[in-house]
Amino acid sequence: MPLLDDGIARAENQPRLVDVKFWRAQKMPGTAADFDLQPDPRILPMLGEINLVQWKCLAELIDNSVDGFLEVARTGGAMANPEIAIQVPTNDTPTAKVTIRDNGPGMSREKLEMAVRAGWSGNDPTSNLGLFGMGFNIATARLGTVTTVWTTREDDAEWVGLRIDFDALRGQRHFRTPELTRPKIDPKEHGTEISVEKLKPEQRQWFSKAANRTLLKRELSRAYSAMLRQGGVPTTFRLLLNGSAVPGKVHCVWGGEGCPVRDVQTSRFGPVSALQHIDVQLPDRPFCRKCWQWLPADEAVCPGCLASGDVVRRRRAIRGWIGIQRYLSKTEFGIDFLRHGRKIELANRELFQWQNGEIIEPEYPIDDPRQRGRIVGEIHLDHCRVTYTKDRFDRTDPAWEDMISVVRGSGPLGPDKAAEAGYAPNTSPLFKLYQLFRRSTPKSKTAGCYARLLIVPDNDRAEEMAKKFYDGDAAHQTDAKWWDLVQEADRQLLAPTPPATGAGEAATNAPDTLEGFGPATGQAEPVPANPPAVAPPLETPIASLGGEYRSDSTNQRWEIQAYDVLDTHPSLGNSKPWALRAQPSGIHEFLVNTRHSVFSSATMTPLDGLLAELSWSAMDFLRGGASAATFGSVLAELRSRYASVHALDPIDLSNEARQVLLDIAATLAANVDATDAVALFNDLPTNDQDAIFQRMATRSAGNPQAVIAEARFLEYAPPRVIGDFFGAHPELFLDGRCWDDSYATLDYGRPLATQEAQSQIVRYYESLIADAVWLAGQDAGDLTGASRARLLRAQLAIELLSPTDPGETAT
């Protein structure tokens, strides 16, 4: 009679016992009885009480299939078209079940027996995704009460399987279950199939809803995106959900696949790309395969289990990329962290914070009034521990700190704050992106500013285009259409819309000066200061007006191609400002003479003309039909959707005012030395000094005396103090220091005339600063009662106050 693995005899015809072995306490002479620590069969259903959302339940089972693919690759084999197919119920019925099948290598009977044992894992935790055992049991118990596993290898004669029925196990009070077999349809087939039946009622209800199945597909697309793409890392496989392929989500970034390199030239680092690739090999380190712990570099024996045979040296690497998204978003930004190809943490933003002891300071996004960001990335961290639910990397693992050092550096992202804290200059990928692209609007709107920031002025438009990118629209897979909008915005700054004669003024395309970088230039072509007047072509594309427009209230859709045309264009007879013409292809061409006198008004733009024309078109389509829509309601709908960039938004205005005042305050540091800075601070009224110190403490400014000596104290001043300081020291802000207007260099040959000219300049900027101070001191609710004229004036003040970057006058 053969023996079971636990030494218990069984008859030749007795079914093979799978899962937990039986331990019997034996009373031996002179020895104490062993304790029986076999878990009660009720323990497995209790694992189902662990909160694991549906997509993560399926992911646990997918992980084990992926590990099968990786095992083939590690042993030098090749998988032909690796695939995982998932079937979930579409109706809430008692017979509903969940099935996952792969065409991996399959398992032996022995491995199958161990694979489903609660708490056991035969997988190497540093080389595999799945921890077959706890993850398998938690996932299946969360979904239902009966699980059947079938597996076969290419050379096996049949499928072998087992059935885990929680109700039966509780009734028999042991873990024995018979071996199952079934014939192969194809002698060469191989793989593993897991079916979960008797789904819990709440699970059946969840899967039966189409919206939840869409959510499931989206989450799996995100989690496994690195392996669902061509040339995936560390492998590539096909994933099917109810017969439909799950695509791998690709980030919509500047300079991505199929795009030209998008970079900015800097004096310190040379060209800095908007897409930063990371591939850092760290020194090998000892690892205990028994305890699953990393050991100090010189350890040969695990201090935890005192084992030496299980201590091996493991390779460690940090790979991936971080980059700049083509649009701003409140939610869709952050860095994804992956382990062996599966995303463990999605859109994580911890690296955008600086932790100083117990104080956590947000560093990004801080320049956008709506807290929108666009830094994204994927970082592979295969050698860092994760939680058993695989939703978080272990922050106590030294591998996490190694990653932080590589990706963002050890200190603050702000160079001044880092220097105050004693950190060496930062050269990390995140530091470069942060310094160059953290702003959501140009600091100073001069030609080339949008190219240097890689920012589309109309973010709503950029987001609409991103939806087409994610939907797989071929025309939106590269960043060309976003780049067209950037270039158009810079051309408008370079040469404002000229009057009817065609004449116009040009601005210099000069570089920004970037914090910690020195002068930088974008990709806009250099333009001479006084280019010759050139007659525009008959039709010039207007990228910012093109694209799809929709009216939900009238169920109308237009695909627009917009062109700037001359008043002599045949479609604009009788000096019409614009015309809309339909093409056989279904595209509508909007032809507009931007030099027409109607656009001399401050309240009329070519976009207004287009939206009015589309509103009339919609009403003409509905003519004679029953509809509650009116011309006014359709126009309001279209303006709400497509003209929000021109809206007087109180939240945006208030935050923009605070930001421009901060930008003005920051220019002081470049214009005075330490001795003068201290004297200027001491000249402030005592209550203003107290307010500054209070803000320094609140914002953890570090050494306050160093901040004062560096003339950065105005950055911590209340808005009113900034205005008062300018009135007392205008010479520190004019003549190219903050603004280009002349002050000290003014000379009318008569002292009184010169003083009057200087006074006018000061009064002009004081009035602008007063508007910004008023805005900065208002809450959004307070501004709702302000008149439109008052808000327009304040908005113009903000625009006029934007400091001139020192680099704009650099050669």
Q: What is the pTM of this model?
A: 0.78
Tell me which of 446 and 580 has the higher pLDDT. 580
User: CATH for 43-245, among 3.30.565.10, 3.40.50.300, 3.40.1280.10, 1.10.10.1100?
Assistant: 3.30.565.10
Q: What is the spatial distance between Cα 536 and Cα 472, in angstroms, rounded to a whole number?
A: 35
The pair phi, psi for residue 341, each rounded to 5°, is: 95, -20
The whole-angstrom distance between residue 415's C-alpha and the CA centroid of its chain comes to: 24
Whether 809 shows a pLDDT value over 50: the answer reads no
Residue whose pair of structure tokens reads 């900015």 in the numeric block: 264
- Average pLDDT score, the chain: 85
pLDDT given for residue 677 in this prediction:
93
What residue type is 141 in one-letter code? A
pLDDT given for residue 701 in this prediction:
72
Task: Give start and end residues of each alpha helix (H) in 414-544.
Answer: 415-420, 429-437, 449-453, 459-470, 480-494
Token pair listed for 419: 């220097």
pLDDT band at 103 (very low <50, low <70, confident <90, very high): very high
Tell me which of 802 and 767 has the higher pLDDT. 767
- Beta strand 556-565 with 587-592 is parallel
Residue whose pair of structure tokens reads 């969840």 in the numeric block: 206
Q: Which of 433, 73, 405 is nearest to 233 (CA)?
A: 73
pLDDT given for residue 339 in this prediction:
94
Q: What is the spatial distance between Cα 74 and Cα 340, in angstroms, rounded to a whole number?
A: 13
* Residue 321, beta-bridge partner list: 277, 378
pLDDT given for residue 584 in this prediction:
92
Half-sphere exposure of 410 (CA within 13 A, CB side): 7
The CA-to-CA distance between both ends of the chain, in Å, stands at 93
Residue whose pair of structure tokens reads 């594309």 in the numeric block: 541
C-alpha R_g of the chain: 34
pLDDT band at 530 (very low <50, low <70, confident <90, very high): low
The pair phi, psi for residue 744, each rounded to 5°, is: -65, -30
Q: Are 192 and 68 contacting, i.e. CB atoms less than 8 angstroms apart?
A: yes
Q: Is the dihedral of CA 730, 735, 739, 740 positive or negative?
A: positive
pLDDT given for residue 230 in this prediction:
87
Contacts of 722 (CB under 8 A, 6+ apart): 661, 664, 665, 714, 769, 773
Token pair listed for 499: 């009057």
Q: Are 324 and 454 contacting, i.e. CB atoms less than 8 angstroms apart?
A: yes
CA distances 368 to 644, 653, 658, 808, Å, are 16, 11, 11, 23
**How many residues would you count in the chain?**
811
Residue whose pair of structure tokens reads 């019997």 in the numeric block: 24
pLDDT band at 302 (very low <50, low <70, confident <90, very high): confident
Q: Are 346 and 53 contacting, i.e. CB atoms less than 8 angstroms apart?
A: no
Cis peptide before 29 (omega within 30 of 0): no
Contacts of 428 (CB under 8 A, 6+ apart): 405, 406, 407, 408, 409
Q: Are 639 and 549 contacting, i.e. CB atoms less than 8 angstroms apart?
A: no
Whether 298 shows a pLDDT value over 50: the answer reads yes
pLDDT given for residue 19 in this prediction:
40
Residues of the chain with pLDDT > 70: what percent?
Answer: 86
Q: Which of 718, 660, 734, 733 is nearest to 684 (CA)?
A: 718
* Residue 563, beta-bridge partner list: 541, 591
Strands of the 244-245 sheet, one edge to the other: 180-183, 158-165, 144-152, 191-199, 98-102, 83-87, 238-241, 244-245
pLDDT in tens, 710-736: 999 999 999 999 999 999 999 999 998
pLDDT in tens, 475-493: 999 999 999 999 999 988 8
What residue type is 249 in one-letter code? K
Tell me which of 360 and 550 has the higher pLDDT. 550
Whether 87 shows a pLDDT value over 80: the answer reads yes
pLDDT in tens, 2-56: 333 333 333 344 444 344 333 334 444 444 556 555 566 666 677 767 888 999 9
| DSSP character at residue 494 | H
Q: What is the spatial distance between Cα 669 and Cα 588, in angstroms, rounded to a whole number?
A: 53
pLDDT given for residue 48 in this prediction:
66
Q: What is the spatial distance between Cα 387 and Cα 374, in angstroms, rounded to a whole number?
A: 28
By three-state DSSP, how is residue 541 classified?
strand
pLDDT in tens, 109-144: 988 988 887 554 455 555 667 654 567 888 999 999
Contacts of 266 (CB under 8 A, 6+ apart): 272, 436, 514, 517, 518, 519, 520
pLDDT band at 574 (very low <50, low <70, confident <90, very high): confident
pLDDT in tens, 140-178: 999 999 999 999 999 999 999 999 998 888 788 777 889
pLDDT given for residue 525 in this prediction:
44
Token pair listed for 724: 């008062």
Q: What is the spatial distance between Cα 272 and Cα 523, in angstroms, rounded to a whole number?
A: 12
pLDDT given for residue 295 in this prediction:
81
Q: What is the spatial distance between Cα 104 and Cα 83, in angstroms, rounded to a whole number?
A: 8
Q: What is the spatial distance between Cα 96 and Cα 199, in angstroms, rounded to a whole number?
A: 7
Token pair listed for 50: 């662990």
Burial of 427 (0-12, 13-18, 19+ CB in 10 A): exposed
Q: Are 473 and 465 contacting, i.e. CB atoms less than 8 angstroms apart?
A: no
By three-state DSSP, how is residue 10 classified?
coil
Q: What is the spatial distance between Cα 785 and Cα 781, in angstroms, rounded to a whole number?
A: 8
Q: What is the mean pLDDT of residues 256-281?
A: 94
Q: What is the mean pLDDT of residues 582-591?
A: 94
Tell me which of 43 and 104 has the higher pLDDT. 104
- Beta strand 263-266 with 270-273 is antiparallel
Q: What is the spatial distance between Cα 358 and Cα 419, in angstroms, rounded to a whole number?
A: 20
Q: What is the spatial distance between Cα 289 and Cα 396, in angstroms, rounded to a whole number?
A: 18
pLDDT given for residue 36 in this prediction:
54
pLDDT given for residue 398 in this prediction:
86
Contacts of 559 (CB under 8 A, 6+ apart): 547, 548, 586, 587, 588
Q: Which of 446, 304, 321 is nearest to 380 (CA)?
A: 321
Among 34-43, 411-420, 777-786, the range with the most confident prediction by mean pLDDT is 411-420
Q: What is the spatial distance between Cα 313 and Cα 296, in angstroms, rounded to a whole number?
A: 11
Whether 285 shows a pLDDT value over 80: the answer reads yes
Half-sphere exposure of 263 (CA within 13 A, CB side): 10
Residue whose pair of structure tokens reads 């609140």 in the numeric block: 698
Q: What is the spatial distance between Cα 405 and Cα 450, in angstroms, rounded to a whole number?
A: 31
Q: Which of 515, 479, 475, 443 is nearest to 739 (CA)?
A: 443
Q: Are 282 and 398 contacting, i.e. CB atoms less than 8 angstroms apart?
A: no
Domain edges within the chain: 43-245, 263-437, 535-643, 650-809
Token pair listed for 789: 């004229």
